[in-house]
């Protein structure tokens, strides 16, 4: 949802009212990809001004993002937002947008996920609207939980439930 919301927020700032979005996802059978796609669809269903042209699946690579991005831009030349399941796909989509002579941040807005070094660089140069991430911090939480458990602290036996909201957006305001 945050990938989609980052696109919407930036487009609203730029006074774009009718959002025509295409998505490039990853391998359909993976739980993380399925959850990302559900997030996209939830936001599209909740907003009246978004038209989802197509969501395609592929590999989580720059080359596939480029190929799928070029194909989507040819099929739907009027799209003004590209939702990408990760930063590598987004990097490929950016290259495809340049190839189709789209002005990023004006004609088209592109967001991804992972907080990768390259993704953050692309946000800072305004080639990407945003990158969503933070999920790698879960490993740190697990280490703390193991440490607590080894010291006799067990949140389950205390009737507590752990819910982590580890995702956040890096955009022009906080890059």
Asked if the model's pLDDT at residue 160 lies above 80, the reply is no
Asked if the model's pLDDT at residue 36 lies above 80, the reply is yes
Which residue would you say has higher pLDDT here, 154 or 71? Answer: 71
Those residues whose C-beta lies under 8 Å from the C-beta of residue 43, and which sit 6 or more positions away, are: 1, 4, 5, 8, 50
**Which tokens in the block code for residue 87?**
């930063």
Taking all residues of the chain, what is their mean pLDDT, rounded to a whole number? 93
DSSP designation for 172: T
Q: In degrees, to the nearest 5, what angle opens at C-alpha 92 toward C-alphas 5 and 126? A: 55
Confidence of residue 22 (pLDDT cuts 50, 70, 90): very high
Averaged pLDDT for residues 69-79? 98
Q: How far is CA 31 from the centre of its chain?
A: 15
Q: In degrees, to the nearest 5, what angle opens at C-alpha 32 toward C-alphas 28 and 36? A: 80
Cα 7 from Cα 3, distance rounded (Å):
7
For 96-144, what is each residue's pLDDT tens digit? 999 999 999 999 999 999 999 999 999 999 999 999 998 888 888 889 8
Cα separation values, 151 from 147, 148, 160, 165, Å: 6, 5, 17, 25
For 131-148, what is each residue's pLDDT tens digit? 999 888 888 888 988 898
Q: Give the predicted TM-score (pTM) of the model.
A: 0.88
Those residues whose C-beta lies under 8 Å from the C-beta of residue 126, and which sit 6 or more positions away, are: 104, 105, 172
């Amino acid at each position: 949802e945050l990938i989609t919301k980052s696109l919407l927020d930036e487009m609203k700032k730029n006074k774009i009212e009718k959002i025509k979005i295409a998505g490039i996802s990853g391998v359909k059978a993976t739980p993380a990809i399925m959850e990302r796609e559900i997030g996209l669809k939830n936001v599209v269903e909740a907003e009246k001004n978004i038209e989802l042209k197509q969501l395609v699946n592929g590999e989580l690579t720059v080359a596939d993002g480029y190929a799928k991005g070029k194909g989507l831009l040819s099929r739907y030349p009027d799209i003004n937002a590209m939702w990408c399941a990760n930063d590598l796909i987004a990097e490929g989509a950016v290259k495809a947008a340049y190839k189709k002579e789209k002005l990023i941040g004006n004609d088209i807005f592109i967001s991804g996920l992972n907080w990768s070094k390259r993704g953050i660089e692309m946000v800072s140069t305004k080639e990407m609207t945003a990158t969503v991430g933070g999920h790698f911090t879960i490993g740190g939480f697990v280490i703390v939980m193991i440490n607590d458990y080894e010291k006799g602290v067990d949140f389950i036996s205390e009737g507590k439930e752990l819910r982590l909201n580890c995702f956040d957006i890096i955009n022009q305001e906080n890059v």
